[in-house]
Structure 1
Amino acid sequence: MKRRALLTLAVSTLLLSACGQSTTNEASTDAANNGESELLQRINSGGTINIGTEGTYPPFSYHDVSGKLTGYDVEVSRAVADKLGVSVEFKETQWDAMLAGLDSKRFDMVANQVSLTTPERKAKYDKAMAYSWSGAVVLAPTDDNRYSSWESLKGLRTAQSLSSNYGELAERYQAEIVPVDGMAQAVQLVKQDRADFTMNDNLAVLDYLKNFPDSGLEIKLTAPASELRGSGLILRKGDDAVVAKIDEAMSALQKDGTLTKLSQQFFGADISKQD
């Protein structure tokens, strides 16, 4: 009698397990038939998304004094995840290996100031709605009033790395190049009056001015909106439904002021808008 009861229990357990497995398989099949990706399923079910970032790239992605991962890109990603109703897990990796990690599906997307400027990257990846915009700016002493237009750079001395895009841009406006190794040295030459100005990325300059408000320098010229580059979350090509959901979340964060608030927190200016 006892043996028969145990046999009946075992058979019932197997049937329940089979029914459960059948239901799961049917749900997966239905999702596949509906054209949903595995990532979209996780988002729709309130699961976890994985985001690749450097963790050593302040003020975009870094660890604060307490060891917490933070930064503009990180906090924007957390806000997007909150809007989507999902959890987020960050996977830190070196920049050189970041897109390879995306290719190998180590993570679902990348948040690390990527703007997809080359045709090769545009063909391989999708970019969601931009959460930061940047372009070239001219940094010079506050009391120097010679910068009425980009054409006014002609004949002035600019501290630039010869291999940078900004050095090429300065040459286009016929400025005299004073060679430097990087932005830190360029700023020092301007402050020492060994160069009239330096040109660099808007976000890098805003970060410098936020950290050194008494530098005696200010932004004199900013690239027009048409020349700004937008950076957003980067995904593998083809998951249009996920991109649409991220765009919707990012648009909501733009409208409710979250992106502006985070911009002011990390840069002292709103970098989330193109104009």
Structure 2
Amino acid sequence: MSFRTFRNITTVAATAVLVAACGQSPSDKTEATDTSATESDLLNRINNGGTINVGTEGTYPPYTYHDEQDNLTGYDVEVTRAVADKLGVKVEFKETQWDAMLAGLDAKRFDMVANQVALTTPERQAKYDIAEPYNWSGAAILAPKSDSRYNSWESLKGLKSAQSLSSNYGELAQKYEAEVVPVDGMAQAIELVKQGRADVTLNDHLAILDYLNKFPNSDLEVKLVAPAEEKTGAGIVMLKGNDEVLAKVDAAMKELHEDGTLSELSQQFFGADITKR
């Protein structure tokens, strides 16, 4: 798994102007009241040391999973707990399958989502807000430590890259004129690189760091990472209309950046600092 991905609002804007000119319908008033009530309820709970409800999978290591004692943990989980501590509230996690995650947020079954969500399409950006990102990621090149050929992405030209043909990373390898060796997934791709049947594999930087953290003796290493402008940030997501809450979460996240908590957690779960773009 990787980041979850998000058009033209002219028609919507024009419709909104028309509705405003004609007067608000009862259903419009109800929706506005509901949004205001949701903001007020969540804000009151935060201001009074209450409990926030956060949707997460619990089956997506190292971000959100159960440890050997069946305790919910993971990078996203522990970051959220640290945010809750800064806010002075308790946090209750609602474990939900990914396919139902944002639907659960829409239905207000929980207040926020912490599950490596990135708002990268206009549709999601129009519907949700994302707090200050707690990690950044992009494409990365994995190859043997002994291979010193990689001084730029153009170095991939003519090399064998083990990739799933339908993936974004397969397309990226083809963009740089690598010869794609088809595989079913990341595990098979890494094995081909280790066996010398492929020179490299491209994948999400965090997925690669997770592998290297689990298998430090693999004799593989990250050679290149996408530039900052091509990276995507993941953060706590909530419905639009919670501006004061968003500001409080942003402030808490900023403190966690500044006091080193986020860096410590990223080192714990990935063996590297993933908090900087």
TM-score range, shorter chain: 0.7 to 0.9
User: Which amino acid is 1:173 matched to?
Assistant: Y
SS in 2 for 1:185: helix
User: Which amino acid is 1:185 matched to?
Assistant: Q
Q: Which residue of 2 aligns with 1:219?
A: 222
- Aligned-pair distance for 1:34? 11
Matches within 5 A, 1:57-206: 57-206=60-209
- Aligned-pair distance for 1:118? 1.0
User: Any idea what the Cα deviations from partners look like across 1:174-220, whole Å, max 9, x if unmatched?
Assistant: 11100111000000000111110000001000000000000010000
User: Which amino acid is 2:123 matched to?
Assistant: E
SS in 2 for 1:37: helix
SS in 2 for 1:67: coil
Q: Which residue of 2 aligns with 1:246?
A: 249
Q: Which residue of 2 aligns with 1:52?
A: 55
Pick from 43, 46, 49 the counterpart of residue 46 of structure 2.
43
Q: Which residue of 2 aligns with 1:255?
A: 258
- Aligned-pair distance for 1:238? 1.7
In structure 1, the gaps of 5 or more residues are 1-31
Q: Which residue of 1 aligns with 2:270?
A: 267
- 1:198–1:36 distance in 2 versus 1, CA, 3 Å: closer
- Aligned-pair distance for 1:128? 0.4
**In the aligned structure 1, how far is the partner of 2:188 from the partner of 2:52?**
40
User: Any idea what the Cα deviations from partners look like across 1:135-178, whole Å, max 9, x if unmatched?
Assistant: 00000000001111101111101000011111111111111100
State percent identity of aligned pairs. 72
- 1:90–1:33 distance in 2 versus 1, CA, 3 Å: closer
SS in 1 for 2:141: strand
**In the aligned structure 1, how far is the partner of 2:37 from the partner of 2:237?**
24
- Aligned-pair distance for 1:33? 9.6
**In the aligned structure 1, how far is the partner of 2:223 from the partner of 2:38?**
51
User: Any idea what the Cα deviations from partners look like across 1:74-120, whole Å, max 9, x if unmatched?
Assistant: 00000000000000000001000000000000000000000111111
User: Which amino acid is 1:56 matched to?
Assistant: T
User: Any idea what the Cα deviations from partners look like across 1:46-88, whole Å, max 9, x if unmatched?
Assistant: 1000000000000000000001000000000000000000000
**In the aligned structure 1, how far is the partner of 2:123 from the partner of 2:228?**
24
Using structure 1 for the length normalisation, give the TM-score: 0.86
**In the aligned structure 1, how far is the partner of 2:149 from the partner of 2:184?**
26
Using structure 2 for the length normalisation, give the TM-score: 0.86
Structure number with larger C-alpha Rg: 1
- 1:35–1:175 distance in 2 versus 1, CA, 3 Å: closer
- 1:267–1:178 distance in 2 versus 1, CA, 3 Å: same
**In the aligned structure 1, how far is the partner of 2:113 from the partner of 2:38?**
23
User: Which amino acid is 1:170 matched to?
Assistant: A
- 1:35–1:178 distance in 2 versus 1, CA, 3 Å: closer
**Contact map agreement 2:128 2:239 (CA 8 A) in 1:** yes
Q: Which residue of 2 aligns with 1:228?
A: 231
**In the aligned structure 1, how far is the partner of 2:37 from the partner of 2:224?**
51
